Amino acid sequence: MPTPRHILISLIALSSLFGCKKEESKPLPKDQLTVEYSIDRDVLQVGDPVELNVTVYYPENGVLQLPPIGRGKEIVQLKRDSSVASREDGLKQSTTQYRITSFRLGDFPVSTNSITCAVGEQMLTTSFPEAVLHVKSALTADASDKLEDIKAVRKLPDVIPRWVWIVLGAALVAFLAGLITSRLWKNRKQRTPEPPPLPPHVIALNALQALWDKGLLEKDECNLFYTELSMILRIYLDGRFQLNAPDQTTEEIVWEMSRSVELNQAQQDILQEFMKQADRVKFAKDHPDRQTMENAFNTTKQFITETKVENEPESKIENRKSEIGNS
């Protein structure tokens, strides 16, 4: 007689035998579309992502077309990945993974369009999965819909205290005031105006005296004597008659002075004779005696004295000479 233990073992064996038997899958039709889908959640808050997987089985020689599911702010497609694989039963399997969300409150179907598949001249059609998103507000039920007032701008503390800027500004003003006062104090007295330049004849007569004091006549240095004497006369002509005499030839000076109405014929002859005599000494190596050199000196001095401008008394000229000497 079988014991209870034997009966229990037999039941377990029978249960294992029938329980491990694999359930055969139902064959899919080949003349129509089969759609399966899964969604990780259908209740969400605004902006939360939702994963939607859509699998379509269709004929091997068919061309599958899935509709777009983006629709304004109600349904926003964030990402879409697709893959296609062939099956042993002669069908193709298309798997599409959507990541979607919504920025509107309410209930919104993911898509109301159809899935189509062209098989030759035949068009197979089926509806998109009836997935609906239920978008809820993140606010609590007792939350107020009134906007809060904007808070006042909060001023950040100054990096440098205000009193430091005040002290620096006062110091700058004091420095500028002291600088201006110092310069005004230094320039409180007007500078004495410089005396006007000496007349050309005074400059020439002073130069003649300096030449005479060199003693070139006693040293018999006639070339140097005539060179300096002719330069004194040329500078005088430049200042007195506005000639460029230091850079002109003797012929140019004589020709221009011959047209001057301020010289009489005797003065023109004196000028011409001296200039030619000086050229003979400087360029032709002429060597006049001491008496001739003294005559040339006196003639030049006479020419300057006779042709000077008589527009200032000698006393004023002497005063100006002393002022220039003191300065």
Domain count, the chain: 2
Beta bridge partners of 312: none
Does residue 211 share a domain with residue 132? no
Which of these three, 89, 104, 136, is where a domain ends? 136
Residue 285 included in any domain: yes
**Radius of gyration of the chain, Cα coordinates, nearest whole angstrom:** 63
Query: Do the domain assignments include residue 262?
Result: yes
Strands (DSSP E) contained in 61-121 are: 63-65, 76-86, 91-101, 106-109, 114-119
Write the DSSP assignment of 247-275 as a string of letters: GS-HHHHHHHHHT-TTS-HHHHHHHHHHH
Residue 229 sits in the same domain as residue 305: yes
CA 271 – CA 274 distance, rounded (Å): 5
In sequence order, what are the residues at sequence separation of 6 or more whose Cβ sits closer than 8 angstroms to the Cβ of residue 59?
30, 31, 90, 91, 92, 117, 119, 124
Half-sphere exposure for 297 (CA within 13 Å, toward CB): 21
In a domain, 227, yes or no: yes
Burial 232-263 (b: 16+ CB within 10 A, else e): bbbbbbbbbbebebeebebeebbeebeeeeeb
Question: Domain check: are 129 and 229 in the same one?
Answer: no
**Is residue 231 assigned to a domain?**
yes
Task: Answer whether residue 225 is part of any domain.
Answer: yes
Cα–Cα dist 207/318, whole Å? 15
Of the three residues 136, 154, 178, the one that is the final residue of a domain is: 136
What is the Cα–Cα distance from 221 to 225, expressed in whole angstroms? 6
Q: Both 117 and 44 in a single domain?
A: yes
Instruction: Give the per-residue pLDDT at 18.
Output: 47
Model pLDDT, residue 94: 93
Query: Is 18 part of a structural domain of the chain?
Result: no
Is there a single domain that holds both residue 322 and residue 205?
Answer: yes
Residues in the chain: 327
71, part of any domain: yes
In a domain, 115, yes or no: yes
Output the tens digit of pLDDT for each of the chain's 327 residues.
Answer: 455 444 444 545 445 544 444 445 678 888 889 999 999 999 999 889 999 999 999 999 989 999 888 888 899 999 999 999 999 888 999 999 999 999 999 999 988 889 999 998 899 999 898 889 999 987 776 766 677 778 888 777 767 778 888 998 999 999 999 989 888 887 765 555 677 888 989 998 999 899 899 888 888 888 898 889 889 988 988 888 887 878 888 888 888 888 888 888 888 888 888 888 888 888 888 888 889 888 889 998 998 888 888 754 555 445 544 544 454
pLDDT attached to residue 244 = 80
Query: Phi/psi of residue 57, each to 5°?
Result: -105, 130
CATH number at residue 70: 2.60.40
Answer with the one of 90, 105, 136 that is the final residue of a domain: 136
Closest by Cα among 34, 46, 55 to 98: 55
Q: The dihedral of CA 245, 247, 250, 255: what is its sign?
A: negative
pLDDT of amino acid 87: 92
Domain that holds residue 265: 200-326
- State the amino acid at position 179 in one-letter form: L
pLDDT reported for residue 38? 94
Whole-angstrom distance, CA of residue 226 vs CA of residue 228: 6
